[in-house]
A and B are shown apart, each in its own frame.
Chain A
């Protein structure tokens, strides 16, 4: 009791958090809850006048297969991008954590965080420059004779996947790095001394201990990738539609905001379920390896 009192001398001081709490409520929580209400809205709000209620949005969503197809496609692309990111990131993260010299390590980490500080659009644009027919990669491939002149994977779904991997790779590397870095060298060494080969050491020691980082990496890559629409709009071409593009079109081209709200609502619910499961798994994994679970 005495200790607690010492820690919190001015309870009234918590009022300083008031404006933020208010902003969180008004700008994040309330809009999300109202989104559910808006998904029963019939059409658009014109000049602040509410157009009335309907169930049509949900009927439309679940009767046709446009939504389910695109949602499935988005989740599929999300899973694929996440998987590719994991495969590429694992050795890189391990290399930075354990092979790189300590004074190089901070430089590597800074180089990896740079894309996080760079506009997502510029990253997409940079990739487009490389991929465009007549651009540097295609000219090169053409010279070697792999690709014929004037072709490119740009404006295909494959380009979307490549761009997304490029954008989200740093997230996965950093998540894995945080986990891998905390594995003691002694542990790995002990396993080797006791006769385990590299593969068994990896399966029994390294991989289980990296699961929390892996899962939070999956969370950080999968969720934004599923919700992306800029990539598919810019490099996806006619077949690049994702569920984000469908939602986006309700606000910018088709202008059926009620339907758009219903779509975003269901999309958010599906994502929340996935996030919830992954969070749960993270907590389990952290308990199993005896880390701190906050």
Chain B
């Protein structure tokens, strides 16, 4: 590669990253700004952070979203791990079919997913409810868990299981003593991903949340639509930091950016990493 091209690529990369990160950095800086509407002059203050945790209307929404996403993530972990485990003893054909069926909830636009679920819930007389919102979010995050756990199964050496069975261990014992420890990283990564995706999933919650109940994404949507809130900057800064922490943690667990992305977008190329 010629030198000129290299320099061009480096400059281009720098500009690209600047484009991606300047808005995020501005939010973080503005969360320390005392002047209203994120404008100049910049006056340093820390007041928004205590405000966020004491008086802000965002706090109840954030707490609700945390609890809700945790419930969804745990449910998705249980059902998804069971699915990935079951898929191991499926004939190739069924496994492939199920694999592509799992892509459905994340391939179709969430707008359509939300709308179709809302209609069916209305027909059943349930309508907008916690139950509906729970179902809608679980089905949207389940694929992430399944993909990440399946990836773990594909990597794992399966001989210890066979050995344990030969030595007389029952299926339950084999699962908890050997299989489960083997796939724990996949389960954890899937759970974290499920949590984050659910925590941020605006569209589904916008359609299925009970009337009057505002999860964080819905609350943020309403806030941005109606006006500016300085404590939103503080919350955004915190949330970005948490996302960054989760990514770093996943990276320590051996999931690179591309492998997470492959699982998240079901490109099914886990074995490349």
Contacts and interface: CB of A to CB of B under 8 A. Distances in A.
A244 interface: yes
Nearest to A171: B265
Interface string A240-277: 00001001100100000100110010011001000100
A237 to B, nearest CB: 12
Contacts of B105: 24, 27-28
Given A17-B82, A257-B122, A178 B23 contact: no
B111 A92 contact: no
Contact of A30 (B98, B120, B246): B120
B24 interface: yes
A169 B16 CA distance: 9
Interface of B: 1-2, 5-6, 8-10, 12-13, 16-17, 19-24, 26-27, 30, 37-40, 79-80, 82-83, 85-91, 94, 98, 101-102, 104-105, 107-113, 115-120, 122-125, 135-136, 138-139, 142, 146, 162, 165, 171, 196, 199-200, 202-203, 207, 217, 220-221, 224-225, 232-233, 236, 239-240, 243-244, 246-248, 251, 256-258, 260-262, 264-265, 267-269, 272
21 contacts: A10-B89, A12-B89, A20-B79, A24-B142, A27-B136, A34-B119, A48-B123, A95-B10, A95-B13, A111-B21, A117-B196, A125-B224, A125-B232, A129-B233, A136-B38, A166-B19, A170-B20, A251-B118, A257-B119, A257-B122, A264-B116
Nearest to A248: B111
A288 B20 CA distance: 34
Dominant secondary structure at the A interface: helix
Given A29-B104, A257-B119, A294 B236 contact: no
A175 B136 CA distance: 27
A205 interface: no
Most buried by A among B119, B123, B136, B244: B119
Nearest to A170: B20
Most buried by A among B9, B102, B261: B261
B116 A32 contact: yes
A38 interface: yes
A260 B118 CA distance: 11
B1 A98 contact: yes
A279 to B, nearest CB: 10
A91 B20 contact: no
Interface stretch (A52-60, A62-70, A144-152, A220-228): A220-228
Given A91-B12, A129-B30, A174-B258, A114 B243 contact: yes
B269 A178 contact: yes
Contacts of A13: 85-86, 88-89, 171
Contacts of A76: none
Contacts of B86: 13-18, 20
Contacts of B272: 178, 182
Interface in A19-37: 19-21, 23-24, 27-32, 34-35
Given A24-B101, A30-B120, 6 more contacts: A20-B79, A23-B79, A45-B122, A117-B247, A121-B221, A125-B220
A239 interface: no
A35 B115 contact: yes
Most buried by B among A16, A35, A134, A247: A16
B26 A126 contact: yes
Nearest to B117: A31
B83 A16 contact: yes
Contact of A119 (B83, B109, B202, B262): B202
B27 A116 contact: no
Interface in A92-106: 92, 94-96, 98-100, 106
